[in-house]
Chain A
Amino acid sequence: MTPAAYKSIPLRLALYALMAVFGVVFLLPFLFMLSSSLKTNDGIFADFASIRAVLPVGALTGENYLHAFARGNIGHYLANSLLITGVTVLMGMVVNSLAAFALARLEWRGKQTALTLLVIALVVPFEAISVPLMILVAKLPGVALGADGLTMTRSWLDTLYVQIVPFVANAFSIFLFYQFFRDIPKDFDEAAYIDGATPLQVYRHVIVPSSLPVFATVAILQSLTMWNQYLWPLITVPGEAARPLMIGMEQFFGARKTAWGEVMAYASLITVPVLIAFIVLQRWFVRSVVGSGVKG
């Protein structure tokens, strides 16, 4: 809109105030989570009813964090989540961008149908297919690497790859890539083809370098989705070995008295690193969304 220089002082103050109010509203739940993570259960409920709920006051203790680490087995779950997120996102970027390239840049029969199907696929909520998908992967023969080498197993359940493979191909990612690729001028493609390039080379040397913003955007979106996955691991990963972070939080519920302090500590441990990562990468991320032309 209008640059700051045009704005009068009272207007600027008003805008600051407005932003601050919204800022408080947006920060409040965070502060509550962080403050509660430092209090005992009694402390949380005692401070509940006042502004003290969001302030780290009273008898503070680091006990919750100790418990979260000790009982929570956070290191193991963190490693799992990192692996799952990393592999899915990396593979997804390759697979989905290639498909989008085929849709945006190559001519072939059935392309229109494929596009329509893609749009329809966007509408299917995950919960709708979660149970049949679980039954499907429960019967798929899997592999495991044990002391005696590579063995066949009867099912994909309770593994890390059951949390990865079904999510590599992603309709929304393909859609985002497609929208962006469509906007890249075709001249560069033409020039490359005239020089005798194959489509793969065009993809590698023309499209990809111009598409860093959308790659970044897709990576970030997929990372968030995979990091925060909940329903799927709940129904397909019963054991501890492949359990991700979100399910690890389950262990603080269910018992008779929920240890809210520990829950908040665990939640903070999960959220704060992601938040810090975002703050650090913020400028880059915003630029990527802006540049990716995610406009519809």
Chain B
Amino acid sequence: MLSTGILQRLATFALCGLLCGCGPAPRQDGRIDLILWKNLAGLDEEAATSALIDRFNAVQTRWRVVAQSLPQGGYDQSIVAASLAGRMPCVVAVDNPMVASYAWAGHLRPLDGEVPAPLIAAVSPAAVGRYAGKVYAVGQFDAALALFTRRSILARMQTRIPTLDRPWSGAEFQTLLERLKAGGQYRYPLDLSTRDDKASWWTYAFSPILQSFGGDLIDRRTGATAEGVLNGAAALRFGTWFQMLFAKGLVDRSEPDDNAFIKGRAAIAYNGNWSAPEFQRHVGNDLLVLPPPDFGHGVVIGGGSWQWAISRTCAHPDGAGAFIAFMLQDAQIAAMSDATGNVPVTEAAAAMSRDFGPRGKSRVFFDLMRRFARPRPATPGFSTVANAFTTALRDIMDGKDVHDALDDGTDDIDRTIADNHGYAAK
């Protein structure tokens, strides 16, 4: 067959290819490399983060941050695999709800001591990842949920425009929706983006409303159970309300595409600041950004986006801390917000930014975040909590008995907590 010479060369090439190629070639300039892993986000965010890293590498000569982007879909699995292999990067991006889980599992080291405390103190609470009294992660930006509608619609309906100080009550909101439906112009007046069936969206979007009703995902004081909280009277009211939205045809079980509001099929969209630019482009000055309704316990929106943490096995935590401290400078936060449209997390950065200053066009999102954002519960069992909540809510949407659905969700959560012995520390 093939001559042995060629075979040998092929074999060596294959062998080399198999074994090499993991990690960049070390350069000879005395800098210490810090590996950074982040989730693969949109083009803007990628570019902005690269620019940020370049700036950090330029202002000092001791460290060099080298970044790798991982697909967001399997991000958690990647972290698990890296941890099992003992190959965690130094700086790692963590989605806020997962901070508790990673901290409990021992992947992360606390930021105290590596990142100056005043910097963290200035950051909006929801953008800080805390667990068991320690800070493990902090983010440069957050997001804000809001109701989007058109001024012309509210004028036509002769409904008042709610403000952050005087939001709609649950009853006002309900009346408006039913009148919109009765008018016949909108097949499903409210778009809740139910098309996205991921647990991350459903928990982020709808557990705040649950909290506005007075319920919650788990008892945050003890973190030991969801009983009475996810299936108590307040939660039942929430579930019943949610089911009624679909039963009365106010919300579609699954919109055919993401453009219900833009195309005028829906009058009101419950969405986040990330959709604002596109809404603005299509709706123009008619666009109104409103706070979600207050269902009895105040307006609540979701909080906590992707944040930065230091891995426990990082050989140079001071370098990682230096990078995070750099990122938390107001100028850097402002630059990130300008490039991506994400909401900055400090007052000063907002003032420096283009759109989130006191007179900026996106200021409302900063105010919403500052005043109403509440992070999801810091529990290591968050994946289970999110899945249980989402399953329960989707079952409720499909007509399952509300009490039964919430009881099942509560039982799943409680059982997982019990299986893990209450997530006691090591």
Contacts and interface: CB of A to CB of B under 8 A. Distances in A.
Contact of B21 (A147, A160, A250): A160
A62 interface: no
Interface residues of A, number: 43
B257 interface: yes
B85 A157 contact: yes
Contacts of B18: 83, 87, 159-161, 164
Interface of B: 14, 16-23, 25-26, 37, 39-43, 68-75, 77-82, 84-87, 257-259, 274
A238 B73 CA distance: 11
29 contacts: A83-B14, A83-B17, A138-B81, A144-B19, A144-B20, A145-B16, A155-B84, A155-B85, A155-B87, A157-B81, A157-B84, A157-B87, A158-B81, A158-B87, A159-B22, A160-B18, A161-B19, A235-B77, A238-B79, A239-B78, A241-B23, A247-B71, A247-B74, A250-B73, A251-B40, A254-B72, A254-B73, A255-B40, A257-B258
Contacts of B257: 45
A238 B70 contact: yes
Contacts of A86: 14
Given A155-B85, A157-B85, A253-B73, A240 B19 contact: no
A213 to B, nearest CB: 17
Contact of B74 (A156, A234, A240): A234
Contacts of B42: 255-256
B84 A255 contact: no
A241 B22 contact: yes
A135 interface: yes
Given A45-B257, A160-B21, A147 B77 contact: no
Nearest to A79: B17
A216 interface: no
Nearest to A145: B19
Nearest to B275: A256
A247 to B, nearest CB: 7
B47 to A, nearest CB: 11
The 7 residue pairs across chains A and B that have the minimum distance between CB atoms: A238-B78, A254-B72, A155-B85, A250-B71, A145-B19, A157-B85, A138-B84
A34 interface: no
Nearest to B257: A45
